[in-house]
A and B are shown apart, each in its own frame.
Chain A
C-alpha cells in the first residue's frame, strides 16, 4: 500500500478484556516498530521486529503485552486483561532498514480506551 495502515482506528474495551491491534507496514519494509503514546506525551517504544524476528521487546510494559509478525509483514499487538492505564494511542512504524538514517513511517494509530 501507499503507507502504513492500522486497524481498528478506535477500540473501546472493558477492563479485563483482551484486544488485538493490527499493523500493515509498507511493502518491503524490513523493520517494524510499535510505540505507545499516552495523552500529552510523546510516543514511547514498545517493541521492534526485523522481518519476522522480534529483536527487542524491552519497552513492553508487562507480560500482558505480546506482539508478533509471523510472516515478516503484518504485525499484531495483543494486550491481555486490559487495564485503564493501557488507554493510549498505539502507533506502528515501518522502515526499509534498521539503522538510524532509515526513516520510520508511522501509521495513523489505534486509539484504545479501557473503561
Chain B
C-alpha cells in the first residue's frame, strides 16, 4: 500500500508562472512532511518541510501547504524558473518505534519549466 501518493508523474509550466505540485497521504500518524528535489544522477536534496501542527510554511519562492483533514499537501513555486526543472518528491516521516524517523516517499513528479 502506498502511503504517500503523487498522482501527477509530470508537469509543464511556463517560466514566470506558478508551479503547483500535489501530494496525498493515508497515514494520519505522519508528523512531518518534506519536499525533496532531485536532478539526474544526483541524490535528492531537501527543499522545504512542514510540521503536522502547521498549515503553511514559506521559504522564498517555495511555499508548502498542509490540509490535514484532506490528508493533502502541495508545493507552490512562484515564479517558476528553468533551473527548477527536476523531479520533486513528497516525503513524510513518523516515529518507526525503533528510534528512527525514516522517510516514506511518493513516486515523484517531474517538473519542466519552459523558458
Contact = CB atoms under 8 A, between A and B. Distances in A.
Contacts, number: 73
Contact of A42 (B42, B94, B102, B108): B108
Contact of B103 (A43, A99, A109): A43
A25 interface: no
Interface stretch (A53-61, A67-75, A77-85): A53-61
B69 to A, nearest CB: 21
A102 B105 CA distance: 16
Query: For chain B, what secondary structure do more than half of its interface residues adopt (helix, strand, loop), or is it mixed?
Result: loop
Query: For chain A, what secondary structure do more than half of its interface residues adopt (helix, strand, loop), or is it mixed?
Result: loop
A56 B100 contact: yes
Contact of B4 (A33, A42, A58): A42
A48 B107 contact: no
A43 B100 contact: no
Contact of B100 (A48, A105, A107): A48
Nearest to B46: A103
Nearest to B42: A108
Contact of A55 (B36, B51, B100): B100
Nearest to A41: B107
A68 B11 CA distance: 40
Cβ-closest 3 pairs across A and B: A42-B105, A106-B43, A100-B32
Given A43-B44, A50-B99, A100-B32, 7 more contacts: A42-B6, A43-B89, A48-B99, A48-B102, A101-B49, A102-B101, A108-B41
14 contacts: A4-B43, A33-B100, A33-B102, A42-B108, A50-B99, A56-B96, A56-B98, A58-B96, A93-B43, A100-B94, A101-B49, A103-B49, A106-B43, A106-B45
